[in-house]
Structure 1
């Protein structure tokens, strides 16, 4: 849970708010259409090939379809820092797509997980209530995440000498607490969404107050900690993979389904959703290839179904799900970093990042000739000093200073 919370927090901090104005429709299409299409195809194959019941088939589809932000976020952030594709915001689009795809399919997994293993569910009304509860949980998590992000934006005050430390501590503790609490309440998807909305809101607020991403101490701390957490998280995923439990007929079926059905479906749908969005063929190919990376959700969701299936005489259903997830982790987990590292510089255009032109570095009423305010105290301490400053400015320049109170 700690690793998942950290991934979501770093992803939220690296999302550009301006991308929603120009790429909002593209993000929605890439987040929902390829993932849901792959989920339906995988569910159909589970029903016809593995002879699973329909609810188990949908549980199967929701387990194998989610993307893995853990496997790709570091590579995307490095491409973004190097300027590859930043003229069109490709890294921000992919980060948001990964987050929304993961949240959507994990939330659907929770719904079908409840329907499959809750013996009290016997009619359509109860199933409808579960879907309504899930919808309200998602809406509530967005609202709570927004409120928490606004709070962290203004508290502590931006001129506090330990502002960076307190922001890091508050954001980290809030993210970890949210993910753990929602995990206890069995609404993990809502916790993921709340965490990423909180980090995104705080990042936008800090930029509006004059702290751009490239000089934000919170981003720097998260980048350093990630070098320790990344190998740890990938090692935990590897510990969940047991290749000695695989069965021959399951392996053959999975090797047929994974590359030729599920991956092909997601690649084709991702390529189609990027059409007429202002990208050239190379950029569309890069974005579609990066939509194939799995790993973290499969290693976490499959054991959950296996544990409950043992106590309900449904272990033979869960074995198919677990074996396919294990093979999918082995096949697709290395794809994302390899594709981003080797094909990113080849397929994407490098855009020189001019950090000095960041409009959020200085408030709009300040000029570049002025000396920035000292760290730890406000520019003007009182109304009297403000009046004296205005008089001196008018004496030497012949015009009144137009600064407003900050």
Structure 2
């Protein structure tokens, strides 16, 4: 395992650095490293790493979502208002609708299979979007109209919505039954996640004000609490739906609101943690990609992913109707909301493992969506924010 960790870190750092020097997102290089190291290519990663890869990806998400919460100001979120709520589900719904229209025509699948494909590829990737929005907040781009905050909030809830829809659809495909309770879980999971995170954040602020301890120890405490929140989500599954990731982000927001001096110091610590977590996250996403499916996909799958992306961008445009954003700012939001990676890597193999007839094509579309949208979104954001947003 130690050799595999060393290979992941060293090659991830090296290739990521090379890509950044080529004015390309370092994450693209890291994903390529993962593809090359994976069992489907050179097979240089120990099986023990593959066994815990899902947990390692989740740890990386915890770090970046906590960092996002520590950067988000509650007053900025209130100022965003209606568009932030619409961004949580409208782009994903319209993208799924586009997939339901075109997947049967292009791939010859049923309406239900097309809906499952749509639910897999509809989630935006917080791992790609969140670090970039944090950078914009720190550099002051688009903050006069709370554009990074809008995208941050939407991207975090978008995943919860899509995962619940995916679960309901795969249940329908495997059992032939789906209940209304499945869809009631969406708002319940979001609300309980926010309330739980707010309560935990308030307790932590009280504790940190009362007991003076080093910031590094505070980071360890917050990380441990974050992992417990995820475990609580897992333990309550099937009983009470609650989003652990949303709770973690809400916890960071409350710390920022009630103890902003500490939030700034903790943000610096989390930035340093993200340096290593980012490498693991994107290399492991690459390891989950099977190029065999991508190479066998053909032009029609690529066309489907592009069409779905167009529908997604239309969904963002609809969400921003009657806002004060100008055309350039709306265009930025549209491209910033396109990257997919982490959710697709996690969900892409599920239908195949469940034995669903659409399993192989779902995995193929998930792989292609990662390879197309992750670099596309990252490159667009990195190269356009100075031109499209005011500082």
Matched, 1:237 2:288: no
Distance apart, 1:47 and its partner CA: 4.0
Contiguous gaps of at least 5 residues in structure 1: 351-406
CA distance in 2, matches of 1:303, 1:185: 24
Alignment deviations for residues 330-359 of structure 1 (CA, whole Å, 9 cap, x no partner): 001112321222111111111xxxxxxxxx
Contact in 2 for aligned 1:179/1:191 (Cα 8 Å): yes
Contact in 1 for aligned 2:96/2:115 (Cα 8 Å): yes
CA distance in 1, matches of 2:374, 2:345: 11
Contact in 1 for aligned 2:129/2:337 (Cα 8 Å): no
Counterparts of residues 93-104 of structure 1 (less than 5 Å): 93-104=150-161
Alignment deviations for residues 42-65 of structure 1 (CA, whole Å, 9 cap, x no partner): 133334443444443322211000
Contact in 2 for aligned 1:156/1:163 (Cα 8 Å): no
Matched, 1:330 2:371: yes
1:177 pairs, out of 228, 245, 254, with: 228
Q: Please identify, of 107-116 and 170-179, the stretch whose mean Cα deviation from structure 2 is larger.
A: 107-116
Distance apart, 1:25 and its partner CA: 0.8
- The DSSP-based 3-state class of the residue aligned with 2:209 is coil
The count of corresponding residues between Structure 1 and Structure 2 is 332
Matched with 1:339 is: 380
| TM-score (normalised: structure 2) | 0.78
- The DSSP-based 3-state class of the residue aligned with 2:259 is helix
Contiguous gaps of at least 5 residues in structure 2: 1-57
Contact in 1 for aligned 2:160/2:190 (Cα 8 Å): no
Contact in 2 for aligned 1:182/1:190 (Cα 8 Å): yes
Matched, 1:197 2:245: no
Alignment deviations for residues 297-317 of structure 1 (CA, whole Å, 9 cap, x no partner): 1111111222222xxxx3x41
Counterparts of residues 130-279 of structure 1 (less than 5 Å): 130-133=182-185, 135-157=187-209, 160-162=211-213, 164-183=215-234, 186=237, 190-207=243-260, 211=261, 213=263, 216-246=264-294, 248=296, 250-259=297-306, 261-279=307-325
1:12 pairs, out of 55, 64, 69, with: 69
CA distance in 1, matches of 2:386, 2:185: 44
Contact in 1 for aligned 2:350/2:359 (Cα 8 Å): no
CA distance in 1, matches of 2:245, 2:111: 27
Alignment deviations for residues 91-149 of structure 1 (CA, whole Å, 9 cap, x no partner): 111111211212211222233233333x4x64xxx612333455544433332222112
Contact in 1 for aligned 2:351/2:358 (Cα 8 Å): no
Distance apart, 1:84 and its partner CA: 1.4
Residues 164 and 298 of structure 1, relative CA distance in 2, 3 Å threshold: same
Matched, 1:287 2:333: yes
Matched, 1:66 2:66: no
Matched with 1:379 is: none
- The DSSP-based 3-state class of the residue aligned with 1:292 is coil
- The DSSP-based 3-state class of the residue aligned with 1:327 is helix
Distance apart, 1:237 and its partner CA: 0.5
Compare CA radii of gyration and give the structure with the larger one. 1
Distance apart, 1:27 and its partner CA: 0.8
Alignment deviations for residues 205-248 of structure 1 (CA, whole Å, 9 cap, x no partner): 213xxx275xx221111011111111211100111111123464
Residues 155 and 142 of structure 1, relative CA distance in 2, 3 Å threshold: same
CA distance in 1, matches of 2:193, 2:283: 30
| TM-score (normalised: structure 1) | 0.75
Structure number with higher relative contact order (C-alpha < 8 Å, ≥ 6 residues apart): 2
2:132 pairs, out of 62, 67, 75, with: 75
Residues 320 and 228 of structure 1, relative CA distance in 2, 3 Å threshold: same
Counterparts of residues 308-327 of structure 1 (less than 5 Å): 308-309=354-355, 314=356, 316-327=357-368
Give the aligned CA root-mean-square deviation in angstroms: 2.3
